[in-house]
């Protein structure tokens, strides 16, 4: 299939410019991309979801955590149907063509695997929209669904992660990496880092994290106590998250030349200028959000990013400036600046100031 109609979304009024510059631009080259329905990206839509009554936040009772997990699993079809309808009425334009979509919804627990010391073990929903250009839905979607359900069912007492939970989570990551066409070197690095994280958190134990939460009176005190637990396991805090590794690597490529402590107006001007010309090579390694190359100089990841731009220049040249601006935003996010509204304004400004938009 060939993706059509994306350029019609190059308007300042379209509320999700990051979807155009990221997922829809990527879909010109990659066979499948994913839109996560998060609170940060779609607050109004998530509010509407809770109002429907399918969300765990809408239920109260005396059921055990395992019983609640089972009840939520029974709602999967309803949740997927709700978001499937919203996807083409509130997120994507019906004029788009050349790809199909499928929703994958799954309840999960906010365990230490997700939030470490800030885990509250409450039930939540993870909803993902997959966009693909193949004739049939990718086979990996069933593997992803299965891994999500098995991870939830593997929780001890319906709340606490186990070794089996880690295995299922790693299986989900691998299936997604294969589906999205991520370079093998980056996938293996990320899997190794995630496995180390899971092992350490299992060694500390979720109950110990709950004890620390109860003992500490402030976030800083909790952070200090957690660092002591990590040191006992031989894993410094900065090695627990892949984001810390990326920040250190970006420092080696002198990222400070491109992103300083600027005002939003200065950043907007910077985006508009830099999006007119090819970016420094390492930016192309960050071709999509929530992807972590094994290094900013990764040749395989850079090749994917450059291939997307080359394809856009031939098929939809009006999308190139927004794609470049989105690459900058992806790098910016890795540096810890993830204000969604500021990102959207920067991308919208890029759209508004380029003369080659339709």
| pLDDT in the model for residue 131 | 97
Structure tokens at 66: 């395992």
What are the respective helix, strand and coil percentages of the chain, to the nearest 5?
A: 60, 10, 30
Average pLDDT over residues 113-131: 93
* pLDDT over threshold 70, residue 97: yes
Non-local CB neighbours of 176 within 8 Å, separated by 6+ positions: 34, 140, 144
| pLDDT in the model for residue 232 | 80
| pLDDT in the model for residue 53 | 63
Instruction: Choose between 184 and 2: higher pLDDT.
Output: 184
CA distance 358 to 356: 6
| pLDDT in the model for residue 229 | 86
* pLDDT over threshold 60, residue 334: yes
The fraction of the chain above a pLDDT of 90, given in percent, is: 66
Instruction: Choose between 263 and 182: higher pLDDT.
Output: 182
Among 3-7, 167-171, 250-254, the minimum mean pLDDT is found in 250-254
| pLDDT in the model for residue 260 | 59
| Banded pLDDT at 124 (limits 50, 70, 90) | very high
| Banded pLDDT at 261 (limits 50, 70, 90) | low
| pLDDT in the model for residue 351 | 87
Instruction: Choose between 110 and 339: higher pLDDT.
Output: 110
Average pLDDT over residues 199-212: 92
| pLDDT in the model for residue 150 | 98
How far does CA 88 lie from the centroid of its chain?
Answer: 20
Residue range 36-93, pLDDT digits in tens: 999 989 999 999 998 876 566 555 567 899 999 999 999 999 999 999 999 999 999 9
Instruction: Choose between 171 and 238: higher pLDDT.
Output: 171
CA distance 304 to 23: 13
| Banded pLDDT at 357 (limits 50, 70, 90) | very low
CA distance 158 to 108: 10
* pLDDT over threshold 80, residue 176: yes
């Amino acid at each position: 299939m060939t993706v059509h109609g994306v350029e019609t979304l190059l308007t300042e009024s379209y509320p999700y410019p990051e979807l155009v510059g990221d997922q829809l631009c990527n879909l010109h080259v990659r066979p499948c991309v994913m839109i996560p329905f998060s609170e940060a990206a779609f607050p109004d839509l998530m509010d509407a979801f809770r109002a429907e009554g399918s969300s765990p936040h809408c239920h109260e009772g005396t059921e055990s955590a395992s019983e609640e997990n089972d009840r939520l699993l029974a709602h999967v079809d309803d949740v997927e149907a709700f978001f499937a309808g919203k996807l083409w009425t509130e997120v994507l334009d019906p004029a788009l063509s050349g790809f199909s979509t499928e929703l994958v919804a799954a309840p999960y627990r906010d365990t230490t695997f997700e939030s470490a010391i800030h885990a509250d073990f409450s039930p939540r929903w993870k909803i993902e929209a997959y966009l693909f250009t193949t004739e049939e839905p990718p086979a990996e979607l069933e593997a992803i669904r299965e891994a999500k359900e098995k991870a939830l069912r593997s929780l001890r007492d319906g709340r606490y992660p186990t070794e089996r939970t880690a295995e299922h989570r790693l299986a989900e990551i691998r299936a997604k990496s294969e589906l999205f066409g991520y370079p093998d070197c980056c996938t293996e690095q990320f899997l190794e880092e995630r496995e180390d994280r899971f092992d350490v958190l299992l060694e500390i134990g979720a109950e110990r994290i709950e004890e620390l939460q109860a003992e500490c009176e402030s976030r800083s005190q909790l952070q200090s106590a957690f660092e002591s637990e990590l040191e006992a396991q031989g894993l410094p805090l900065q090695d627990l998250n892949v984001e810390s590794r990326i920040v250190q690597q970006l420092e080696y490529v002198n990222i400070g030349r491109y992103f300083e402590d600027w005002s939003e107006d200065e950043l907007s001007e910077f985006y508009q200028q830099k999006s007119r010309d090819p970016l420094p090579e390492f930016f192309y390694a960050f071709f999509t959000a929530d992807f972590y190359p094994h290094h900013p100089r990764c040749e395989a990841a850079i090749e994917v990013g450059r291939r997307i731009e080359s394809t856009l220049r031939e098929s939809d040249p009006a999308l190139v400036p927004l794609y470049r601006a989105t690459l900058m935003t992806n790098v910016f996010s890795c540096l810890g600046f993830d204000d969604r509204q500021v990102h959207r304004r920067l991308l919208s400004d890029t759209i508004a100031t380029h003369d080659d938009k339709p």
